[in-house]
Amino acid sequence: MLAFIGKSLDRLLFACIFISAVQLPEFIQQYSQRLAGHLDEAKYQLIKFQDIANIHYQGNLMNLISQYQTNTDPAINATGQMVVELIDRIALLSNQVQHLFHSDYLSKVYYFFSHFDADIANATLRDYQLSIPLEQNALLTGALVAVIVSLISSATFSAMRLRTS
């Protein structure tokens, strides 16, 4: 009876892990789309500063930023720093979007886990829509993760039984 319960729990664990792991490609896809939205918004904001530079600084955004940063008013000065940070953010987001949209699956997974933005990931998780993807990457991810967890749990339970014997 105990063996039956153990096998049933093992199968249940395997199924739960499999279903969770097949969500990874879809989560990365939704995260990537949210990331692209942040990039589009940042570019939109920068265009507004570029419009000002086009009118007053012959299109030279760096001159506009320099004027902001040398202004004695702390609010204007901070705006200059904000534009510099916006340019840096666009570069970072562009790089991330490039990797997540144009890499092979394993590279996407590696890049996602090594470079994800916690705030964007949390927002993605908050709005995440569960799916049962029937694509090869999702099924392989689910099977691989479920098998690994199943092997680890079996080895752990076997070691525990040997200690108690």
- Give tens-digit pLDDT for 10-62: 777 777 777 777 888 889 999 999 999 999 999 999 999 999 999 999 999 99
pTM reported for the whole predicted model = 0.75
Position 36 in a domain: yes
Domain of 43 in residue numbering reads as 10-158
Residue 122 confidence (pLDDT): 96
Position 5 in a domain: no
Residue 157 has pLDDT above 70, yes or no: no
Average pLDDT in the chain: 87
Position 149 in a domain: yes
Number of domains in the chain: 1
Position 164 in a domain: no
Q: What is the 3-state secondary structure (H, E, C) of the chain?
A: CHHHHHHHHHHHHHHHHHHHHCCHHHHHHHHHHHHHHHHHHHHHHHHHHHHHHHHHCCCCHHHHHHHHHHCCCHHHHHHHHHHHHHHHHHHHHHHHHHHHHHCCHHHHHHHHHHHCCHHHHHHHHHHCCCCCCCCHHHHHHHHHHHHHHHHHHHHHHHHHHHHHC
Position 78 in a domain: yes
Position 109 in a domain: yes
